[in-house]
Amino acid sequence: MARNFVNLNVNPCKMCMPMGAAIAFKGIEKAILMMHGSQGCSTYMRRHMATHYNEPVDIASSSLTERGTVYGGEDNLKKGLKNTIELYNPKVIGVVTTCLAETIGEDIERLVNEFVEQEEVGEISFVPVATPGYGGTEFEGYYLSLRKMVERFATEGSNDKLNIIAGNLTPGDIRRIKDILESFSVDYNLLPDISETLDGGYSDDYHKLPEGGTTIEEIRSMGGAKATIELGVLAGENISPGKFLEDQFGVPVYRVPLPIGLANVDKFINLLVEITGRKTNAKLTKDRGRMLDAMVDSHKYNAQGRAAIFGQPELVYTIATLCLENGIFPALLATGVETSRLSELLKKDFELAAEDILIIDDTDFQTIRDYVNKLGVNILIGHSDGKFITEKDGIPLVRVGFPIHDRMGAQRKVNVAYDGSVSLLDQITNTLLESKYSSYREDMYDEYFTG
Ligand code: SF4
């Protein structure tokens, strides 16, 4: 079922580690990211984020030149940090590395500690994270950055709050999760909170660092919370923020899939019921009923679907479960991350035989395209980078995940909860219907008259 391909990646199905760090730090109040490395890295991240979220995204760079690369980038980094403080007056600076800084052996923790000792930094907090571009993907960069934040700020204590570690979702998703938490009247710490910082409203005043985000005080209080729900089940325990809180402060962690698809939303809601001791509310019950109704309505169309799902593994896993719940066969699952857990979980959840679904990890779009054609896939589900398969082979793409550059509204899209899952399911079903009705006369003619 799981296949490893050790080969050259052409157009890889992933982004690099600092990209995940950039998204994670955008969810912290008045935080800015400093990328230690070449300037092009921060431009690449800003370009991806600005077109996906349709928001201005500032990322500082130490802009290493040939000199810094040969003799060490310390001076550039320190000068860059001083400028960043002067220009942005942030509360938090995440300092991450890139390929170049790691290749020349920069010790980011030491450099940041030295800077704090040498300069007047006032109340500003620094979170150094080593994120070599080649050391993992945006998936690992995201969770590792969150882990470093709780390692840096969380303190011992006791409070009645619930920690939620949000997966790499849309700002719209995060708002929906907050609605659900509020419907349970539970006091919570949500890390990270990109609901406003990456999808703010229009205002006459321009803030260099947008309003919103998780506060340092909230992260501090995570060490004394009564439990942590971590949305995501595939990240290793060594980069899990919830696991750190459990090991260090005894805060029990419950790791559940992203709440997309009936079974996965149920898991999240049931956990909230169990932890808070409160009943689920009428709106959620109605939404669940509507989802069941929608599943019954659309199953007759979905049975024709043979999907290829690609992107970051948590999303691939949960969309695969949504497809399997609804009669769409996920013929191919592909991710740029190395993970064997994906096939284990799907086998367990759906009692699949080893040969049922092809799962390829650490892969690229050239390989995905080859298998899409070999396996008779008729719908693609993933981010914009898969669009060239549509262009070349005419297979339609339902855009979900990060990045989405060629459509509007990625930041507002809600895929989580019962209503969000129905909306995603409708999109998939309607895409199948559109394909069917655009060619069914020719298909019938071919079938009956040309044989
Ligand atoms: S892969 Fe390396 S060089 Fe490329 S953008 Fe990422 S950190 Fe920079």
The CATH number of the domain holding residue 388 is: 3.40.50.1980
Atom number of ligand 1 nearest to Cα 131: 7
If one residue of 44, 129, 138, 140 were mutated to test the ligand 1 pocket, choosing by the most ligand atoms within 8 A of its CB, it would be 44
Q: How many degrees, rounded to 5, is the angle at CA 354 between CA 348 and CA 356?
A: 95
pLDDT at 277: 96
Residue that terminates a domain, selected from 226, 253, 276: 276
Non-local (6+) Cβ contacts of 217 within 8 A are none
Question: What's the pLDDT band for 10 if we cut at 50, 70, 90?
Answer: confident
pLDDT value at 53 more than 60: yes
pLDDT at 155: 98
The string of pLDDT tens digits covering residues 280-325 is 999 999 999 999 999 999 999 999 999 999 999 999 999 999 999 9
pLDDT value at 441 more than 80: no
Q: Which has the closest alpha carbon to 93: 191, 165, 22, 166?
A: 22
Which residues have any ligand 1 atom within 6 Å of their CB? 16, 18, 41, 44, 98-99, 133
**Closest residue CA from atom 5 of ligand 1:** 41
If one residue of 33, 98, 129 were mutated to test the ligand 1 pocket, choosing by the most ligand atoms within 8 A of its CB, it would be 98
Atom number of ligand 1 nearest to Cα 38: 8
At 51, list the tokens. Answer: 């077109």
Asked if the structure places residue 1 within a domain, the reply is: no
Same domain, 328 and 431: yes
Asked if the structure places residue 2 within a domain, the reply is: no
Contact 95, 37 (CB under 8 A): no
Tally of CB atoms within 10 A around 412? 14
pLDDT at 342: 86
Selected residue with higher pLDDT from 133 and 356: 133
Same domain, 245 and 357: no
For 390, how many CA atoms within 13 A lie in the half-sphere containing its CB?
Answer: 15
Going by the DSSP 8-state scheme, the letter that residue 384 receives in this structure is G
Give dist(CA 352, CA 354) in Å, integer: 6
Atom number of ligand 1 nearest to Cα 45: 5
Non-local (6+) Cβ contacts of 171 within 8 A are 53, 194, 195, 196, 197, 198, 199, 411, 412
Question: What's the pLDDT band for 339 if we cut at 50, 70, 90?
Answer: confident
If one residue of 99, 104, 106, 139 were mutated to test the ligand 1 pocket, choosing by the most ligand atoms within 8 A of its CB, it would be 99
If one residue of 19, 41, 45 were mutated to test the ligand 1 pocket, choosing by the most ligand atoms within 8 A of its CB, it would be 41
Same domain, 255 and 355: no
State in Å: Cα 59 to ligand 1 middle. Answer: 14
Same domain, 406 and 272: no
SS3 155: coil
State in Å: Cα 209 to ligand 1 middle. Answer: 24
Q: Which domain, by its residues, includes 108?
A: 17-135
The string of pLDDT tens digits covering residues 341-392 is 888 888 888 777 656 899 999 999 999 999 999 999 999 999 999 999 999 9
pLDDT at 354: 55
pLDDT at 6: 53
Non-local (6+) Cβ contacts of 136 within 8 A are 16, 17, 144, 337
State in Å: Cα 32 to ligand 1 middle. Answer: 19
Residue that terminates a domain, selected from 245, 276, 307: 276
DSSP secondary structure of 76-121: HHHHHHHHHHHHH--SEEEEEE-HHHHHTT--HHHHHHHHHHHS--
Give dist(CA 161, CA 215) in Å, integer: 14
State in Å: Cα 100 to ligand 1 middle. Answer: 8
- For the chain, give the mean pLDDT: 94
Same domain, 318 and 271: no
State in Å: Cα 130 to ligand 1 middle. Answer: 13
Share of the chain above pLDDT 90, in %: 86
Asked if the structure places residue 412 within a domain, the reply is: yes
Residue that terminates a domain, selected from 231, 246, 276: 276
Same domain, 329 and 240: no
pLDDT value at 1 more than 60: no
State in Å: Cα 136 to ligand 1 middle. Answer: 11
State in Å: Cα 42 to ligand 1 middle. Answer: 9
Atom number of ligand 1 nearest to Cα 44: 5
SS3 164: strand
Burial of 17 (0-12, 13-18, 19+ CB in 10 A): buried
Mean pLDDT of 237-266: 98
Measured N-to-C along each axis, helices 138-153 and 17-26 cross at an angle, to the nearest 10 degrees, of 50
Asked if the structure places residue 4 within a domain, the reply is: no
What's the first-to-final CA gap in the chain, in angstroms?
Answer: 35
pLDDT at 45: 95
State in Å: Cα 133 to ligand 1 middle. Answer: 5
Same domain, 256 and 339: no
Same domain, 290 and 438: yes
Going by the DSSP 8-state scheme, the letter that residue 187 receives in this structure is -
Same domain, 84 and 23: yes
Same domain, 30 and 129: yes
Atom number of ligand 1 nearest to Cα 18: 7
State in Å: Cα 131 to ligand 1 middle. Answer: 10
State in Å: Cα 279 to ligand 1 middle. Answer: 47
Non-local (6+) Cβ contacts of 387 within 8 A are 397, 406
Total of domains in the chain? 3
Same domain, 291 and 419: yes
Q: Which has the closest alpha carbon to 18: 117, 123, 148?
A: 148
pLDDT at 325: 95
* Residue found by looking up tokens 């947008």 in the block: 210
Asked if the structure places residue 407 within a domain, the reply is: yes
Same domain, 246 and 358: no
Give dist(CA 345, CA 258) in Å, integer: 13
* Residue 75 host element (H or E): helix 74-88
**Closest residue CA from atom 8 of ligand 1:** 41
Atom number of ligand 1 nearest to Cα 99: 2
Asked if the structure places residue 140 within a domain, the reply is: no
The string of pLDDT tens digits covering residues 185-233 is 999 999 999 999 999 999 888 899 999 999 999 999 999 999 999 999 9
